[in-house]
Amino acid sequence: MEGPSLVIASEEFAPFLGRKVSRASGTVKLPLLRRKKLLEVRSWGKHLLLRFENATLRVHFLMFGSYRINNPRENRSPKLELHFGKNAICFYSCAIKEINADPDELYDWSIDVMSDKWDEGRALLALKKKPDVLVCDALMDQTIFSGVGNIIKNEVLWNLHLHPETPLGFLGARGLRYVVQEVRAYSLKFYKWKKQNVLKRNWKVFRKKTCPRCELPVLRKSTGKLDRVSWFCEGCQHLGAATKAA
DNA sequence: TCCAATGTTTCGCC
DNA sequence: GGGCGAAACATTGG
């Protein structure tokens, strides 16, 4: 689950804000949440933060995690189940951890690509310091682009006509700026499309067979030090180029 | 049926 | 102590 999906999750939990947990259970060790109010739900990158009166939980969905509201899965034990009277939120196959610090101290919202506090200049500076890092790895770096995952990475690179294995040093100040701006712009589109249930239909290259721009076959290859799969088109995505996204 | 994949942490080794 | 790779975790659609 990528950053924009976590923002949507936060919004879906809004009806439970200010309400007391009537029952909490699960297969993970938890603080005592019964009779505690849910005070705040927000995300930082791929982290979902649930603040209660007495504790803050951090939920990370990793690759396979999911949640359901008033619609539990059959034959599955949730990692965490929060009841609010007749309503219940269930979390499955995620990593849940109690946070003992103030989230504002722990997290820097200026590197969260979905945050109002997102700081383009800060990301640009971080990229300029790593000329040897490949752009496919840089985009997945959660300390620079918190919330970006493999879908956003591949779509951003395609939009910029940029080969995933381009070293940042090849890009120049203007190219790096295009990268940073497109990450933010695409993340906001991802959010909008996902809410409208049209995200997949808007993928241009991720898990695609053919490039919609030049009709050549899309390549699928493990790339970078992170060794994550990139989908890209050798016909229109080049090393050392970055074309301003349309 | 098999296998890769919207991801991160931890551990052991050099 | 840093950097690296492997392993662990866990689910599901193609």
Confidence band (pLDDT; 50, 70, 90) for A121? very high
* Closest-lying nucleotide for A73 based on CA to C1': C11
**Confidence (pLDDT) at A245:** 81
Residue A106 has φ and ψ, to the nearest 5°, of -80, -35
Is A129 (CB) below 7 Å from strand C? Answer: no
pTM of the model: 0.95
* CA of residue A228 relative to chain centroid, distance: 15
**Confidence (pLDDT) at A22:** 96
**Confidence (pLDDT) at A76:** 86
pLDDT digits over A177-197, tens only?
999 999 999 999 999 999 999
The answer to whether A34 and A23 are in contact (CB under 8 A) is yes
Mean pLDDT across A119-133: 92
Is A67 (CB) below 7 Å from strand C? Answer: no
- Rounded to whole angstroms, the Cα distance separating A47 from A146 reads 9
The 3-class SS string of A177-243 reads: HHHHHHHHHHHHHHHHHHHCCCCHHHCCCCCCCECCCCCCECEEEEECCCCEEEEECCCCCECCCCC
**Confidence (pLDDT) at A29:** 83
- Rounded to whole angstroms, the Cα distance separating A69 from A59 reads 15
Residues with CB under 7 A from strand B: A 1-2, 5, 45-46, 60, 62-64, 95, 140, 142, 149-151, 206-207, 220, 228-229
**Confidence (pLDDT) at A37:** 96
CA of A65 to C1' of C3 (A): 29
pLDDT greater at residue A36 or residue A106: A36
Give yes or no for residue A174 having a pLDDT over 80.
yes
**Confidence (pLDDT) at A103:** 81
Token pair recorded at residue A196: 């409208």
Look over chain A and give the mean of its residue pLDDT values, rounded to a whole number: 92
* Closest-lying nucleotide for A206 based on CA to C1': B6
Give yes or no for residue A100 having a pLDDT over 90.
no
On strand C, nucleotides with any atom < 7 Å from a protein CB are 4-5, 9-12
CA of A192 to C1' of B9 (A): 31
